[in-house]
Chains A and B, each alone.
Chain A
Amino acid sequence: MTAFFQSFGIPFEAAWLLSTIIGILVIALPLMLAVAMIIYADRKIWAAMALRRGPNVVGPFGLLQSFADGLKVFLQETIIPSAANKGLFLIAPIITFTVALMAWAVVPFGAGVVLANINVGLLYILAISSLGVYGVVIAGWASNSKYPFFSAMRASAQMISYEVSIGFILICVVLWAGSFNLSVIVESQRGYYGFLNGNGFNPLLFPMAVMFLISAMAETARAPFDLTEAESELVAGYQTEYSSMAFALYWLGEYANVILMCALNAILFWGGYLPPVDWAPLYLVPGIIWLFIKILVFFFIFSWVKATVPRYRYDQLMRLGWKVFLPTSLFFVFLVSGFLMLTRYGAAS
C-alpha cells in the first residue's frame, strides 16, 4: 500500500505512515465489530446450552444486543471511588484494551496480508500478551479495595504460570517451522500426508494443540479458569469498582484477547488462512474466510467449555500449570527437537 501512496508523489516516509495508519484502522475497526458480535454469540451459545433463549429482543434475533449494551454503558456515569488512586485507576482499563489490540499487528490474515511482517512475530505476541497482566494488576491495586486486590494477586500468578507452558508449546511449533515469523509458520504447515494442512495433524504436535487451547483459556482467564472474577468469592474481581466506559474497555479487551487466542490456535496448529484440506478448489475461498471459520470453531469450543465445565479451585489451577503442563510441554520440546535432529537436521552435522 506504501507504493500506492507513493504513486501520488507522496514521499516514502509519509506514505509509509499513512498506509500503516490505514492498516491499523482496517484491522482494529472490524475487530471491534467482531468483538461485539462474538459477545452476542457467546451469550447465545451459553443460553442454548442452558436451554434458554438468550438475547432475543434488540434487533432481529437480538443481533443488536451488544450495541445496545455498549450504548447503555457509554451513557453511564464514570464513578471513581474516593479512595482509589485516580490516575492509575483510569489508566488500567486503557492498558488492557490497547494491549489486546496491539497483538493483532502481526497476525497474518492471508498470504502476505499482515500489518507488520516481522521475523520475531511470535515473540512479539508473547511479549504483548505478557503485558496484559498489568491492566489487571494495576486495576486491583489502584481500586484500593480488598476483592479487586485479591483478584489482581490471583491474576498475576495465574498468567505468569501459564505463560511458561505456552512458551514451551510455542517453542515446539517454532522448532518445527524453523521460524518465529507467523506467515512462515503458516506456510510451513502445507501438505501433511500430501493432503492435509495444519500442524495439528502431526502426531507430535497434536497434544501441544490441545494443551495450547487449555492454556489459552487460563491465560485469558476464561471459564473454567476465571478465578480472577469468581463471583462467588470476589464479587467481580478486579472489575468490581469499575463502571461505565472503563468497565466496557475491560469487556472489549477481554474478548479481543479471546479472539486473538483462537486466531493463534488456528495459525499455529490448524493452518491459519490455509484450507484444512490441500485441494485446489478450496483455495478459491479467500484465506481470511478460512481463518474466520477456524477462529469461530475455536470460539465455540471456548463457549462450550464455559457453559459446561465447573470452575477450578486455585490450587488445582496452579497444579495443572506447574505440575502437569510444564513437564509435559518440556518433554515435548525434547521430543520434537530430538525427532527433528534425527530426520531433518541430522544429515547436516
Chain B
Amino acid sequence: MIQVFAFYLFAALMLMAGALTIFARNPVHSVLWLIVAFFNAAGLMVLVGAEFIAMLLVIVYVGAVAVLFLFVVMMLNIDFAELRAGFVSYLPFGMLIALGLLAEILLGLGVWKAGPVQLSLRAAPTPADVPNIEAIGALLYTRYIFLFEMAGIVLLVAMIGAIVLTHRARGGVKSQNIDKQNRRRPGEAVVNVNQPIGQGVEL
C-alpha cells in the first residue's frame, strides 16, 4: 500500500518535473525542475531496491552535475525573446527527435509484450541478503574489470583534453608560495636601520 502510494507519488512528480523542465520560461527554473526530476528518479530506484544507484544518482547528478549546470545558467545573461525566436526553426528537428524516442518506447513495449526478454537471463538476480553495493562490486571488479578500467581511462583522457584545450598560461601573475612564506624568518624579513635625521634609507 505504502509502496504503491510512494511509486505513484514519485512517478507523478517526476513526470511533472520533467514536463516543467521543458515548459519553464526561465532557464534557472528549468534546471531546478530537472533536479526535482533527478531526485524523484532516485526515489523510484530506492523502491525497486537499487539503493546504491539511487544514492549515486543523488550524489553525482544532483550534488555535482546539476550544481555546475545551475552555476553556468545563472551566470548567463539570457535574452528570452531571442530564445523564443528560434522556436519555429528548431521545431521540425525537435519533432524528429520526439518521434524517434516515441518509436523506441513503442518498440520496448512491444518487446515486453512479446515475451520474456532473453537478455535479462544473463544477469543472475542476486540473493536478497547481499547488499547491492557488494553485488555490483563483485561483478565490476572481477568480470567487468577491463571495461571498468577502460571507462576510467576514457574519462581521464577527456579530462586532460579539456584542461589542455582551455588552459592558457598567463604571465605576470603573482601567486603565493606558501612553503616559501613558511620558511621565512624574522631575520630575513625585517631590517633595523639606524639612520641619521634628514637622510633617506638605502636598502
A residues lining the B interface (CB < 8 Å): 13, 16-17, 88, 118-120, 123-124, 126-128, 130-131, 133-134, 137-138, 141, 149, 152-153, 156-157, 160, 163, 180, 315-316, 319
Docked-complex contact B71 and A153, CB < 8 angstroms:
yes
Docked-complex contact A123 and B64, CB < 8 angstroms:
no
Docked-complex contact A127 and B32, CB < 8 angstroms:
no
**Is B47 on the interface with A (CB-CB < 8 A)?**
no
**Is B101 on the interface with A (CB-CB < 8 A)?**
no
Shortest Cβ gap from B170 to chain A (Å): 14
Q: What does the 1/0 interface line of B128-141 toward A look like (CB < 8 Å)?
A: 00010100000000
* Residues in chain A near residue B52, CB distance under 8 A: 120, 123
Instruction: Kindly report which residue of chain B lies nearest to residue A167, judged by CB atoms.
Output: B59
Shortest Cβ gap from B109 to chain A (Å): 32
Q: What is the number of contacts between chain A and chain B, taking CB atoms within 8 Å?
A: 70
8 A-B interface contacts by CB (under 8 A):
A16-B2, A119-B51, A124-B55, A127-B55, A130-B64, A137-B74, A156-B70, A160-B68
**Is B176 on the interface with A (CB-CB < 8 A)?**
yes
Shortest Cβ gap from B100 to chain A (Å): 33
> Please, how many angstroms separate the alpha-carbon atoms of A17 and B28 in the complex?
36
> Please, how many angstroms separate the alpha-carbon atoms of A131 and B62 in the complex?
7
* Residues in chain B near residue A123, CB distance under 8 A: 52, 55-56, 59
Docked-complex contact B58 and A127, CB < 8 angstroms:
yes
Docked-complex contact A130 and B2, CB < 8 angstroms:
no
> Please, how many angstroms separate the alpha-carbon atoms of A118 and B52 in the complex?
11
Docked-complex contact A17 and B59, CB < 8 angstroms:
no
* Residues in chain A near residue B67, CB distance under 8 A: 133-134, 137, 156, 160
Shortest Cβ gap from B120 to chain A (Å): 24
Shortest Cβ gap from A86 to chain B (Å): 13
- Number of B residues near A (Cβ < 8 Å) is 26
**Is B17 on the interface with A (CB-CB < 8 A)?**
no
B residues lining the A interface (CB < 8 Å): 1-2, 28-29, 32, 35, 42, 51-52, 55-56, 58-59, 62-64, 67-68, 70-71, 74-75, 131, 133, 176, 178
> Please, how many angstroms separate the alpha-carbon atoms of A319 and B28 in the complex?
30
* Residues in chain A near residue B75, CB distance under 8 A: 153
Among B32, B51, B55, B64, the one with the most A-chain Cβ atoms within 10 Å of its Cβ is B55
Chain A interface, DSSP helix/strand/loop, else mixed: helix
Identify the 9 closest CB pairs spanning chains A and B, nearest first.
A130-B63, A127-B58, A123-B55, A119-B131, A127-B59, A120-B51, A127-B55, A120-B55, A141-B74
* Residues in chain B near residue A152, CB distance under 8 A: 74
> Please, how many angstroms separate the alpha-carbon atoms of A45 and B185 in the complex?
33
Docked-complex contact B55 and A126, CB < 8 angstroms:
yes
Docked-complex contact A156 and B71, CB < 8 angstroms:
yes
Known: A127-B58, A137-B67, A163-B63. 13 other contacts (CB 8 A): A13-B1, A119-B51, A120-B51, A126-B59, A130-B63, A134-B67, A137-B71, A138-B32, A149-B74, A153-B71, A156-B67, A160-B64, A180-B131
* Residues in chain A near residue B71, CB distance under 8 A: 137, 153, 156-157
Instruction: Kindly report which residue of chain B lies nearest to residue A180, judged by CB atoms.
Output: B133
> Please, how many angstroms separate the alpha-carbon atoms of A13 and B4 in the complex?
12
Shortest Cβ gap from B95 to chain A (Å): 32
Instruction: Kindly report which residue of chain A lies nearest to residue B57, judged by CB atoms.
Output: A127
Shortest Cβ gap from B160 to chain A (Å): 16
* Residues in chain B near residue A127, CB distance under 8 A: 42, 55, 58-59, 62-63
Shortest Cβ gap from A338 to chain B (Å): 16
* Residues in chain B near residue A315, CB distance under 8 A: 176
Shortest Cβ gap from A106 to chain B (Å): 11
* Residues in chain A near residue B58, CB distance under 8 A: 127-128, 130-131
> Please, how many angstroms separate the alpha-carbon atoms of A316 and B178 in the complex?
9
> Please, how many angstroms separate the alpha-carbon atoms of A319 and B179 in the complex?
13
* Residues in chain A near residue B51, CB distance under 8 A: 118-120
> Please, how many angstroms separate the alpha-carbon atoms of A105 and B11 in the complex?
24
| Cross-interface CB contact of A137 among B29, B55, B70, cutoff 8 Å | B70
Shortest Cβ gap from A118 to chain B (Å): 7
> Please, how many angstroms separate the alpha-carbon atoms of A170 and B52 in the complex?
16
* Residues in chain A near residue B1, CB distance under 8 A: 13
Docked-complex contact A130 and B59, CB < 8 angstroms:
yes
Shortest Cβ gap from B29 to chain A (Å): 8
Docked-complex contact B62 and A130, CB < 8 angstroms:
yes
Shortest Cβ gap from A146 to chain B (Å): 13
> Please, how many angstroms separate the alpha-carbon atoms of A126 and B62 in the complex?
11
Shortest Cβ gap from A329 to chain B (Å): 16
> Please, how many angstroms separate the alpha-carbon atoms of A315 and B176 in the complex?
9
Instruction: Kindly report which residue of chain A lies nearest to residue B52, judged by CB atoms.
Output: A120
Instruction: Kindly report which residue of chain B lies nearest to residue A127, judged by CB atoms.
Output: B58
